[in-house]
Structures are given as C-alpha cells and as structure tokens.
Amino acid sequence: MTEKGNKHKILVISPHFYPEDFKCNEVAFELVRRGYDVVVLSDIPNYPIGKFYKGYGFLRRRREVVNGVKVIRTGVIPRGNGSGIRLAINYLSFAFTASLRAIFMAIFHHYDTILVHQLSPITVGIPALIIKKIHPKTKLLFWVLDLWPESLKEAGGITNPKILGVFERIAKSCYRNSDRILMSSKGFAESICAKGDFGDKLEYFPNWPDGELAEQKDYQIPTIPDGFKVMFAGNIGEAQDFEHTLEAFRLIYEQGIRNIHFIVVGDGRKKQWVENFVVKHKLSEIVHCVGRHPLNTMSLFFSQANVLFLALKDSLIFNLTCPAKLQAYMSVGKPVLAMLNGEGASIIADAQCGYSVNAEDAISLSQTLIELSKMNSEELKIMGQNGQSYCKMHFSFQNNMQTLEKLINE
C-alpha cells in the first residue's frame, strides 16, 4: 500500500506481452493477484510471426485489460522476416514511441515501481530512464535477460566501436539508475560489474518453467518415430548451433545407426537451413522437423522423448547465459543432453540430470548420444527425476515472486 492508502502502482515495460508468450506475462498477472495495480507498456504484438496479430493494429486494441493488467500498446514497425535491418527498425521504433508515451505517462500518472523486462535490445530501458528522471523517487527494477552490447557484437555481428559504444553507454545508464538489477543468470554479474560498481544492486532471479508446460490438453501431435528419441523444442536460430548438432547426427548416420532419432519442434530463421542440411546429407530417416506448436502442448511432445536436447554456440555471451529452455526441460522429469559451456553445463552437472559436452563439439556429442541410447530406462528415469527435484528446489516461480515482492516493498 502507498502512503495514501492506494494500491502500490507498478509499471512493467516490455516490448513483448500477452498474447505473446513471455515470462513477464506470468509476473504481471501474479502481481495483480497479489493486490498490486499493474500497468504494462508494450508494443503491438507481432512476435514471432513478424506481422501484427489478428485483431491488433495501429487503430485497434491499443488499450486493453488482460487478467486485471492494464495494457497500453505503443506503435511499432513489425519485425517482418526477422532480417537484421527489419529487426533494428522494430527495436528502434519501440524505443522511440515508448519513450514518447513514457513522457505523457510520467506527467499524468505516478508509479511507485517500474519493472523493465529487458530482452533485446537494451534500448527498452530508455522509457524507464525518462520516467525516473521526471520522478526520481520511483523505484526502478531492471530485469536483465540479455547482455548488451555483447549480444549486439557476438550475435548480431556488429563490430563498429562507435555503435557498440552507444549501446554500452545506454547499458551503463540503465544499470546506474536502477535501484536493483535482476539477473536471470549468475554469469551476468561479470558483464554488469565490468560496466560499473553495481555489485550491491544485483539479485539472482533465475528463469522458471512455464506453468502451461504442466497442462496436457487434447491436441493431436505429429507421429513421432519409434526408437531412441532425442528432442529439441524452441527457436531454431543461429545461437542454437544446429551446424554442429546436425553434424553429430550425420556422424551417427554414417556409422549405420538408425535407431537414434532427432525430433525438432519449433520454427525460426534457421529452419530452412536445417531442412536443406537434412536433404543434402540424406538424414531424413533420423532427423524429423515437426514444426511449431502451442506452448501448452509441449508436455505431449516431451512425454514422447527419451532425452531433451539444447545447444548454444561457443561465445562469451552464451557462456555466461543459462537458457530458459533448461529449466523447462528439467521440470518435466526427462534427462537433459546439452552442447554448451558455462552456467548451463554447471547446472546439469550439479543436478545430475543428464550430460553436457563442450560447445561446438560434434564428435563428443555423437559419442554421448550413442552412450545414452544404450542406457536402460531406469538410469534415464533417475536422471530425469534428479532434474525435476532440482528444478522445484532452485527454479520456483513462487520463490521468485517472493523475491520480487521483497524488492518492491523494501
């Protein structure tokens, strides 16, 4: 409660909100359930399809209430085919229009707390800085899920020092003006603290499994082949290193092994490349792309898998990152196989929930796949149970919400 006896008013700033599937949805809805007055400043939904969702547009549904959350949608240029230029326009258009909107929101409204859901890019924090400038006593919580400018350099291929310098200055300003900095990965501390003396502001705020993963609905999934099933689910992009992953399956196929199947559930910019690789190397007998399906049907897919797989390329930013996919996998009680370095690999080892090999090591991955395929079901079951128990203990949504409430009210 505020001093005037009104509800504590929270502004969430995120380029993505319902009906798009992002974790800030759960946070905002839960804050309302706990008695807070929550407003979300977001854009017109267009992720990942690249165009505005049906029923939304520049003149449609710019304001709505979703599960008690008041949503204000600022104009944005949709991301289109996801090319670098189109993404940049999408990012910058949100930063510009949301900043203009933030000025008016700060003039006519007062917010006790601002929570920035900082996915890419770091410019999502600019509207919060504007409000903080107008209302210095407003608490700013900065939820970091991506590191900038490292992400721009390593994932975006930008090397121009002037461009990188601009985004580094924005990152420093966001961190400096934040009251607390929430990290989705402990490894992020290295990058954040390299930009200033921000150690006392850091709070570990790990990802958690999506609540909808536990819901099994009546949904007809594609036929999954018999055999030892290794499943990947999620974005098929550059970061997920399908080059080395598919090379591992090519090595397996060359050895005459046909009972190990790779099931790819999802979509993304790299999907066409994956399909072309499968055709070129005649891997259609063991590699199967089944397309994108709703989040709340993933439990049906995961139940068919023997092992769940994830990978990240070998780069500084990915080595500091713990992908949210790991918690989702662990939560369903299946063994995890990963090809990555850093925090994700450490968690798998600590939880004893599967195996990881070094990033970009296709040979080790192929060997580990063969070893796993020879394990008995009881061994696999124990690893899955270990992961599920570890996930409940360390990656609880309710524990995170208790942490967030403490930060809001401290």
Write the pLDDT tens digit of every residue in 154-208.
777 788 899 999 999 999 999 999 999 999 999 999 999 999 999 999 999 999 9
Give the pLDDT score at 315.
87
pLDDT digits (tens, 9 = 90+) for 43-102: 999 988 899 999 999 999 999 999 999 999 999 999 987 777 888 899 999 999 999 999
Range name among 61-75, 181-195, 288-302, 392-406 with the lowest pLDDT average = 288-302
Using an 8 Å Cβ cutoff, are 356 and 349 in contact?
A: yes
- CA distances 147 to 154, 170, 183, 204, 398, Å, are 10, 12, 10, 15, 25
Give the pLDDT score at 154.
77
The mean pLDDT of 384-389, rounded to a whole number, is 97
Using an 8 Å Cβ cutoff, are 407 and 180 in contact?
A: yes
Q: Which residue has the tokens 């490292």?
A: 150
Distance of CA 40 to the CA centre of its chain: 19
pLDDT digits (tens, 9 = 90+) for 211-265: 756 566 678 899 999 999 999 999 998 889 999 999 999 999 999 999 999 999 9
Of 308 and 211, more confident: 308
Q: How far is 94 from 41, CA to CA, in rounded Å?
A: 10
Q: How far is 73 from 35, CA to CA, in rounded Å?
A: 23
The mean pLDDT of 311-337, rounded to a whole number, is 92
Rounded to two decimals, the pTM is 0.86
Of 134 and 2, more confident: 134
Structural domains in the chain, CATH included, are: 9-208+396-409 (3.40.50.2000), 212-394 (3.40.50.2000)
